[in-house]
Structures are given as structure tokens and as C-alpha cells.
């Protein structure tokens, strides 16, 4: 009896300390609602502990043993359930995407130019919606800049530097090759990419289906057919600062996006340059843009994460709070396996991004077959229309996603449990709503303007 009640007391103290810890973490993360809710639970547990001490021993023992039974059964109920294992379903070979059709390429077209006329003569289905969106002020345009001069100017300056880097993606290949095994090359490239600042890195074969068919943006001639026959894709991710993304859709998000795109561009350019000096062709791909390939599906193939309801890649450690970078090359490399950590099942239960999207661009329902893959497809035009209204790249969906929480012991424990148990996923969705709110408030910008 005494042993069991002692175990019950230890369990109660641990739960009390866990909520105290959660309260402290939430205060540090400026999550006032989570701090208030967990603080109240911690205070109730602390009061319960004090009351227990005052109770006569037999009653205290019974209560502690009952607590031990309840808490053990609850933990077992949550964790002993089937592991969420649904993965993306690929039902065919996707068709190559023409980069001229992506939203950013369409809005780079200058009204009245021959390219503009030729494009909308060929793709009339976009003309009405694009004309309507063009009436809105552009992202980072002067009408937005007036509202947030310092931060929008900072983002603009970051993107300007990115534009200058677009011509650095390729170069001459040294005629003498440094021959090493694929294993050695893979280890070396991944170490370099991490050393240069990436948080995650993986390798896959460069599936030609994910190479754009024609140039739509960047320094290469508009409309040029893309002939990229590299064998491998080195895909990496850099995480975005949570405190910047937490102010979504305000100006800090676009400052952080541009900063991490710059980081990814630097990593890709230096890595590709190093590989070329080792005697193998290599090309960096960067936002801004001179992508010759579609990065999210390659990141999925390279084992960096899964595509979620939000329409972009969710990584296990940072969720969608990342920017991706890419180097394609013929350097012999070993490829990684795709990962499944329960995103498809979690997204089916969650829907938080969809509920919080100010433009209703994220679907609530089931996945649909889209270009060879069963996935959620977002309404890109609706999303982009909102970007022009906000003057930023919004990122509200990235902020509210439970997977985006900071890389700390507490949040990593939740992500770990959610990848192993369906019931833990359900609990994580409910707990996220309870502690952070179904519609979380944006945080104040993390630095003065």
C-alpha cells in the first residue's frame, strides 16, 4: 500500500512539475493563453498536493493509488493505439509543370508586353482572375511600405540581394574529377550543407517529372525549354524563426522568408560551386527565382518530410516552418528513403490551417488526385490574392500549424507521441486548440520598428 501511494505521489508531483514547466515554456514563447491555462492546471495540482498532505494517511493513500491507476490507464489508452502510417499515394507519373503557369511567373509579366499578350492568348483560363488580382497593390509595393517602412524595406533589401545571386547558380566544371565512392560523397555533401547552415538534408534521384518544362522566371530566357539531366537532387531545409512567423500575416514574416531564402541560396550556391570544383556538374536552384525543378516533391522524395493539408512540406522537427533549397548534380550519391511520421492522418484530424486561412485557400475535405498524387490542393490564386492585400507572404497557416511549434523538449515530445499513436494525434489536436486557441492571436513583432 505504502509503495503504491508513494508511486502515486511521485506521479502527481511529476504531472504538477510538467505543467509548471509548460507554463514557464509558454511564458518564454509569449504564448499567454497557454501559460494561463497550464498555470491554472499547475495551481490546481499544487493545491491538491497541499490538501493531500493535510488528509489522514488512509484517505491520502487511497486517493494517491486511484490517481496512479487513472494516470497509468490514461497514458496506456493514449499510447497503445495503432501507429499512423498513411502515406502519400502516388497513382501515376506526374506531368512536368510549365514554370510560366505558376502564380509568380504570371504576375511577373508586364501588362502590354508581347509576352503578356502571348501568354494570356494561350492560357485564357487565368486571364479573368489574374486581371482582378492585378488591381491590388503588389507585395512590398509602396502602399504597403508606408504602413511598415522599416520592416518592408528590410525585406525588399533582402530580396534585392537574392535577385543579384540568381546568376551565380551555375559555372564551369573543373576538368579533373575527384573520384570517391557514392557513400563518401553523400557524407561529405551532407556535412557541408549542414556546416553551411542547413537544418535538414536529404538526397533523391532527380525525377524528370519534377523538372519544370519551360522557364517562367529568372535570368534565363523566358519560355526556354528546360533540359536538366542531372542524376541527383540534394534537398535541404533551413528553419524560420518561430517568433517572426508568429506575427503572421504582418511584416516580420516576409522579412524572415527573405532571410531564409537568402540563407538557402548561399548554401546551394556554395555547395554547387564546391561540387563543380570536384569535377562534377552541379546547379543551385534558388527562390527569386531560378528554380529549374519543383522543390517540395523532391524534398518529400529525399525524406525531408511529408506534404500536408497546407500544400507544402511538413518536416518532423519544424513542421512547415522551413524554407527549402536545392542542388542538382551528377556527383555519384546515395539516396535517402521517404519518411512517414503520420502527417496524412494528423491533417485529417486537424484542419487548423484551413480554419485559419483568411482567403479560404486551404481545402477542408479529402485529398484529391492531382497530377499523379493524392493530396490536398490549395487554391493558389486565392492565397496569392490575400498576399497582395497583406503585402506579405501571409504564413498564417504556417504559424497555426501544431507541427510548427518551436524545437524544444516539450513540443518535440508531443511530435514524437503523435508520430507513434493515433490517439495521441487526436489528443494533440484537442490540446493545441485548448492551450493555444483554435484561432491563435498573432504575436507582437519580436523587435522594434
Cell numbers representing residue 105 in the block: 511567373
Cross-strand bridge partners of residue 283? 328
If one asks whether residue 19 binds ligand SF4 (CB under 6 A), the answer comes out as no
If one asks whether residue 353 binds ligand SF4 (CB under 6 A), the answer comes out as yes
Nearer to ligand SF4, 8 or 311 (CB): 311
If one asks whether residue 308 binds ligand SF4 (CB under 6 A), the answer comes out as yes
If one asks whether residue 426 binds ligand SF4 (CB under 6 A), the answer comes out as no
- Do residues 284 and 230 lie in contact, with contact meaning Cβ atoms separated by under 8 Å? no
If one asks whether residue 358 binds ligand SF4 (CB under 6 A), the answer comes out as yes
For residue 263, give the nearest of 240, 246, 290, 292 by alpha carbon.
240
Cell numbers representing residue 74 in the block: 490514461
Tell the smallest beta-carbon distance from residue 380 to ligand SF4 (Å): 9
If one asks whether residue 258 binds ligand SF4 (CB under 6 A), the answer comes out as no
Cell numbers representing residue 221 in the block: 530566357
Instruction: Count Cβ atoms below 10 Å from residue 48 Cβ, excluding itself.
Output: 15
351: left (phi over 0), alpha (psi -120 to 50) or beta: left
Helix (H, G, I), strand (E, B) or coil at 289: coil
Angle between helices 32-54 and 57-79 (to 10 degrees): 140
Tell the smallest beta-carbon distance from residue 388 to ligand SF4 (Å): 11
If one asks whether residue 361 binds ligand SF4 (CB under 6 A), the answer comes out as yes
Q: Applying CB under 6 A, which of residues 234, 254, 397, 427 lies at the interface with ligand SF4?
A: 397
Nearer to ligand SF4, 216 or 249 (CB): 249
Q: What one-character-per-residue DSSP string does 128-156 give?
A: HHHHHHHTSPPTT-HHHHTTSHHHHHHHH
If one asks whether residue 275 binds ligand SF4 (CB under 6 A), the answer comes out as no
If one asks whether residue 402 binds ligand SF4 (CB under 6 A), the answer comes out as yes
Angle between helices 182-195 and 251-277 (to 10 degrees): 140
For residue 331, give the nearest of 181, 123, 218 by alpha carbon.
181
Binding range to ligand SF4, per CB under 6 A, among 54-62, 158-166, 282-290, 391-399 = 391-399
Whole-angstrom distance, CA of residue 34 vs CA of residue 436: 5
If one asks whether residue 262 binds ligand SF4 (CB under 6 A), the answer comes out as no
Nearer to ligand SF4, 186 or 257 (CB): 257
Nearer to ligand SF4, 218 or 402 (CB): 402
Binding range to ligand SF4, per CB under 6 A, among 109-117, 296-304, 349-357, 405-413 = 349-357
Tell the smallest beta-carbon distance from residue 48 to ligand SF4 (Å): 33
If one asks whether residue 422 binds ligand SF4 (CB under 6 A), the answer comes out as no
Helix (H, G, I), strand (E, B) or coil at 231: coil
Nearer to ligand SF4, 105 or 350 (CB): 350
- List helix spans (H) across 166-301: 182-195, 242-245, 251-277, 295-301
If one asks whether residue 285 binds ligand SF4 (CB under 6 A), the answer comes out as no
Cross-strand bridge partners of residue 238? 323
If one asks whether residue 23 binds ligand SF4 (CB under 6 A), the answer comes out as no
If one asks whether residue 403 binds ligand SF4 (CB under 6 A), the answer comes out as yes
Sort 193 into a burial class: Cβ within 10 Å, 0-12 / 13-18 / 19+: buried
For residue 225, give the DSSP letter.
B
If one asks whether residue 396 binds ligand SF4 (CB under 6 A), the answer comes out as yes
If one asks whether residue 346 binds ligand SF4 (CB under 6 A), the answer comes out as yes
Binding range to ligand SF4, per CB under 6 A, among 7-15, 297-305, 366-374, 393-401 = 393-401
Tell the smallest beta-carbon distance from residue 352 to ligand SF4 (Å): 4
Tell the smallest beta-carbon distance from residue 11 to ligand SF4 (Å): 30
Cross-strand bridge partners of residue 89? 374
Cross-strand bridge partners of residue 327? 234, 284
Q: Applying CB under 6 A, which of residues 25, 267, 395, 418 lies at the interface with ligand SF4?
A: 395
* Binding footprint of ligand SF4 on the chain (CB under 6 A): 308-310, 346-347, 350-353, 357-359, 361-362, 378, 383, 386, 394-397, 400-403
Amino acid at each position: 500500500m505504502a509503495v503504491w501511494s508513494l508511486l502515486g505521489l511521485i506521479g502527481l508531483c511529476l504531472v504538477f512539475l510538467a505543467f509548471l514547466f509548460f507554463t514557464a515554456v509558454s511564458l518564454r514563447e509569449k504564448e499567454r493563453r497557454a501559460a494561463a491555462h497550464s498555470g491554472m492546471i499547475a495551481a490546481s495540482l499544487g493545491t491538491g498536493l497541499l490538501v493531500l498532505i493535510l488528509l489522514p494517511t488512509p484517505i491520502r493513500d487511497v486517493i494517491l493509488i486511484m490517481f496512479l491507476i487513472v494516470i497509468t490507464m490514461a497514458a496506456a489508452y493514449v499510447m497503445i493505439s495503432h501507429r499512423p502510417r498513411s502515406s502519400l499515394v502516388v497513382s501515376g507519373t506526374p506531368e512536368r509543370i510549365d514554370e510560366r503557369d505558376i502564380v509568380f511567373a504570371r504576375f511577373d509579366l508586364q501588362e502590354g508586353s508581347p509576352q503578356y499578350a502571348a501568354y494570356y492568348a494561350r492560357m485564357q483560363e487565368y486571364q479573368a482572375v489574374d486581371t482582378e488580382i492585378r488591381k491590388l497593390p503588389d507585395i512590398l509595393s509602396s502602399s504597403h511600405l508606408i504602413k511598415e517602412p522599416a520592416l518592408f524595406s528590410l525585406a525588399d533589401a533582402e530580396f534585392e540581394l537574392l535577385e543579384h545571386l540568381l546568376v551565380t547558380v551555375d559555372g564551369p566544371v573543373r576538368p579533373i574529377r575527384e573520384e570517391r565512392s557514392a557513400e563518401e560523397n553523400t557524407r561529405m555533401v551532407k556535412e557541408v550543407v549542414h556546416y553551411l547552415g542547413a537544418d535538414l538534408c536529404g538526397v533523391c534521384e532527380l525525377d524528370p517529372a519534377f523538372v519544370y518544362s519551360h522557364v517562367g522566371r529568372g535570368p534565363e530566357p523566358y519560355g526556354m525549354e528546360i533540359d536538366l539531366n542531372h542524376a541527383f537532387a540534394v534537398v535541404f531545409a533551413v528553419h524560420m524563426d518561430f517568433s517572426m512567423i508568429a506575427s503572421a500575416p504582418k511584416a516580420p514574416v516576409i522579412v524572415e522568408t527573405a532571410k531564409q531564402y537568402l540563407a538557402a541560396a548561399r548554401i546551394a550556391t556554395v555547395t554547387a560551386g564546391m561540387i563543380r570544383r570536384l569535377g562534377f556538374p552541379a546547379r543551385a536552384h534558388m527562390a527569386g527565382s531560378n528554380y529549374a525543378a519543383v522543390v517540395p516533391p523532391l524534398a518529400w522524395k529525399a525524406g525531408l518530410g511529408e506534404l500536408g493539408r497546407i500544400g507544402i512540406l511538413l518536416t518532423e522537427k519544424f513542421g512547415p516552418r522551413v524554407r527549402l533549397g536545392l542542388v542538382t548534380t551528377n556527383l555519384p550519391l546515395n539516396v535517402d528513403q521517404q519518411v512517414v511520421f503520420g502527417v496524412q492522418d494528423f491533417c485529417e484530424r486537424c484542419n487548423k490551417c484551413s480554419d485559419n486561412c483568411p482567403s479560404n485557400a486551404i481545402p477542408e475535405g479529402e485529398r484529391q488526385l492531382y497530377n499523379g498524387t493524392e493530396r490536398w490542393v490549395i487554391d493558389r490564386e486565392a492565397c496569392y490574392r490575400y498576399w497582395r492585400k497583406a503585402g506579405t507572404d501571409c504564413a498564417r497557416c504556417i504559424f497555426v500549424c501544431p507541427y510548427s511549434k518551436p524545437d524544444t523538449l516539450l513540443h518535440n515530445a508531443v511530435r514524437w507521441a503523435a508520430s507513434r499513436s493515433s490517439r495521441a494525434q487526436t489528443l494533440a489536436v484537442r490540446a493545441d486548440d485548448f492551450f493555444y486557441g483554435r484561432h491563435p492571436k498573432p504575436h507582437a513583432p519580436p523587435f522594434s520598428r
